[in-house]
Chains A and B, each alone.
Chain A
Amino acid sequence: MNFASPAFWPPTTQEIVFLLLGVIAVGSAVLVVTTRQLVHAALWLVVSFGALAGGYLVLTAEFVAWVQILIYVGAIVVLLLFGIMLTRAPIGRSADLDSGNQIAALVVGVATAGVLVSVLVAGFRHAYMPLTPGAGAAKPLGSSIFRTWVLPFEALSVLLLAALIGAIVLSRTDIRGR
């Protein structure tokens, strides 16, 4: 995995775009946990996921990028917003979103991030991968999913079915007579 890496200066357009997307992703992720409005948190999450999708796109993983947009931005955040609206949670500015443990949470969060970032830096400081356009397209991914990874793929569908049944068990109210 170690190829001869080109000089860092001058940076290519790709690298600049990737760095900018990274800054956007991290910045909006911080805003998700610091904003006092629940709906704003969900919307900042859209920005964060979108920037991440852009990062995938720069790395030629185009299929993953579109899946990220469809599933996370399109489905999960919309689900979150519906959840907020349908459960009559307070939509405006709410002061009680901050927990009393925020200092401890901050310390733990920063420490964890420190460990993980330093591990990644130590591990991949010299790693360089030349990108081949089309390697992350739908076709190579599809053929490897339905060949090498066919069993975990099928097991995942079983997992989704089990989760669905469980959700029905926990929420069904149609006891006879209703």
Chain B
Amino acid sequence: MTDTITAPTIEYLLLSPLLVVFGAAIVGVLVEAFAPRYLRAAFQVPLTLLSLVAAFALVIFVVVKDGVPNKAAAMGAVAADGPALFIWGTILLLAFVSVLLIGDDFVPSAVAVPGSVEEERAVSEGAAHTEVYPLVLFAVGGMLLFAASNDLLVMFVALEVMSLPLYMLCGLARRRRLLSQEAAMKYFLLGAFSSAFFLYGTALLYGYAGSIDLSKISTSLSSVGGQDSLLFIGAAVLGVGLFFKIGAVPFQMWKPDVYQGAPTPITALMASGTLVAAFGALLRVFWVALGNLEWDWSPVVWAVAILTMVVGAILAITQTDIKRMLAYSSIAHAGFILTAVVATAGAKQNSLALSGILFYLVAYGLTTVGAFGVVTMVRDPGGEAWHLSRWAGLGKRSPKLAMVLAFFLLAMAGIPLTSGFFAKYAVFSAAVSGGAVALVVVGVVASAIAAFFYVRVIVLMFFSDPAADGPSIVMPIATRGVVGFAALATVVLGVFPQPVLDLASKAAQSLFVR
């Protein structure tokens, strides 16, 4: 035993947000193991919320203390650069508000057959799966790692850490349980399929470059010759895995089903946090690893962006379920963000596009969490009032809530004086200066189509008569706080976006580390 392994260098302070989230998840598991059943929720909720706040504070502390690091950490595994730190802050904020939405949305006993005696007994005993809190923390930790991974292996592991708890959480809705279980099954199978694509793409790119490090793949683009088929097929297959995660057409099939079936707080987390993390990883792969291959991938991303915007906007019109409608709107928004992904040129143009994307992710994430928060408040006897016809006349029953939702929908449509306007302006102007004018024209047309169904919901709420047995409004204090915060953020980012725009452009200035 004479020779020893040299210890790896780990930048613990830089990784501390990640470590705090994972650590809190593990403490949460211990709470499940040792705390008595009636105390568990009282431990888990503060633990989860505090760890997210602490991780957010640590992100700020890291930036204030050392500035933005300019090289990869943890033996080149994690790139906690400017964009990554901004994305970490965004994900932690969105996860915090999504966790606040968790109320009585989860099934008391997942193993009981829907509608059976066991289920009734579990309800009457007040059973609850408090394991959802550690599972959410695991997923959030995975999101943080996914957006900051500097090589494809870390990215794959993070993808699984992020997805696996989400597959499980999707199947735990308290109401409409068969729909929820179907959603979880579909998400699991399709997600496993897309992970396999991702892994195969990683293997092919490794065969091409001899490394899975993003920056080494980038340098090998100019030095390796004669193996282009490996490179192109590898990049394409890897792209399938990533496009699946953001729900870009033609890989969007899972999104409406999963968003509809999952418990609404989890839907909010997926619509905001997962989208943010997936865009972080997508940008890293396409800009850092395959940046010099731009002429080859940008036509494909063009086509995907156009399809995503148009299909998302058009199919949203035909929906009658509010959560499905928001899911299709989320698909369309992924398309809008993709318009800035192709708008690459020099470093200056890239940082302009990147800051636009970052601002869009914050603005859209907060708005969509707010909208799903409103969805949890409007209740029928059997759960959330999911059918759009039940929302008719909500403006007369509960004008304040209807106005807030209308405001969120207008923000998603991109009306001036809302955060959505500046977000769309930021990505579209970056796309124009990047030479993607045709794409922006399609984007504006798709926005107009999308505005139609947002306005349709608003008209339904304010200009039709309420049904006699209309839904009731349930307003837990935490949900009210979330919706209020999201509405405030949507207003502030719409009227006075400069501080966040500055922050985004400062984070984007140094671009991704290589």
The reply to whether the CB of B5 lies closer than 8 angstroms to some CB of chain A is: yes
Contact A159 B8, CB 8 Å, known A119-B204, A150-B75: no
Q: How far is the CA of A142 from the CA of B3 in the complex (A)?
A: 13
**Given A146, A161, A173, A176, which contacts B5 in the complex, CB threshold below 8 Å?**
A146
Q: Which of A1, A115, A152 has the most CB of B within 10 A?
A: A152
Is A123 in contact with B229, judged by CB distance below 8 angstroms? Answer: yes
Binds A, one of B156-164, B360-368, B411-419: B156-164
Considering the chains assembled together, what is the distance between the CA atoms of A156 and B26 in angstroms? 14
Closest B-chain residue to A143, C-beta based?
Answer: B5
- The answer to whether B111 touches A162, judged by C-beta atoms less than 8 angstroms apart, is no
* A159 touching B161 in the complex, CB below 8 Å, given contacts A123-B230, A150-B74, A177-B121: yes
Within 8 A of A (CB), among B96-144: 109-112, 118, 121-122, 125, 127, 129, 131-132, 134-135, 138-139, 141-142
Do A152 and B153 contact each other (CB < 8 Å), given the known contacts A119-B233, A142-B5, A143-B5?
Answer: yes
Q: Are A170 and B110 in contact, with the CB atoms below 8 A?
A: yes
Beyond A146-B5, A152-B77, A175-B118, whether A159 also contacts B230 by CB under 8 A is no
Taking CB atoms, residues of chain A closer than 8 Å to B200 are: 116
Check: A128 CB closer than 8 A to any chain B CB. no
The smallest beta-carbon distance between B37 and chain A, in angstroms, is: 7
Q: Is A172 an interface residue, CB under 8 A from the partner?
A: yes
B75/A151 in contact, CB under 8 A: yes
Give complex CA distance A161, B204 in Å: 29
Say if the beta carbon of A5 comes within 8 Å of chain B: no
Please report whether the interface of chain B is mostly helix, strand, loop or mixed according to DSSP.
helix
B145 on the interface (CB 8 Å rule)?
yes
CA gap between A152 and B125 in the complex, in Å: 41
Give the docked Cα–Cα distance between A13 and B169 (Å). Answer: 53
Q: Evaluate contact between B161 and A175: CB separation under 8 angstroms.
A: no
**A147-B131 in contact (CB<8A):** no
B6 contacts A by Cβ under 8 Å: yes
Count chain A CB atoms within 10 A of each CB in B153, B154, B210 and give the residue with the most: B153
Q: With A and B bound together, what is the CA distance between A177 and B131 in angstroms?
A: 20
Residues in B475-501 with C-beta less than 8 Å from chain A: none
Q: Mark A56-84, 1 if CB is under 8 A from B, else 0.
A: 00000000000000000000000000000
Q: Nearest Cβ distance between residue B480 and chain A, in whole angstroms?
A: 29
Residue contact A155 to B161, C-beta cutoff 8 Å: yes
A158 touches B22 (CB 8 A): yes
Residues in B whose Cβ lies below 8 Å from that of A169: 110, 129, 131-132, 135, 168, 172
Minimum distance in angstroms from A176 CB to a CB of chain B: 6
**A108 lies within 8 A of chain B by Cβ:** no
Contacts of B6 in A (CB 8 A): 147
A152 cross-chain contacts in B, Cβ below 8 A: 77, 153-154, 157
Contact pattern, A 110-151, Cβ under 8 Å of B = 1, otherwise 0:
000001101110111010000000000000001100111111
- Subset of 22 A-B contacts with CB under 8 Å: A1-B210, A118-B229, A123-B229, A124-B207, A126-B226, A142-B5, A146-B8, A148-B75, A149-B75, A150-B77, A152-B77, A152-B153, A152-B154, A155-B157, A156-B157, A159-B160, A162-B25, A165-B29, A166-B135, A169-B110, A172-B109, A175-B112
Residues in chain B within 8 A of chain A (CB atoms): 5-8, 10, 22, 25-26, 29, 32, 37, 74-78, 109-112, 118, 121-122, 125, 127, 129, 131-132, 134-135, 138-139, 141-142, 145, 153-154, 157-158, 160-161, 164-165, 167-168, 171-172, 200, 204, 207-208, 210, 226-227, 229-230, 233
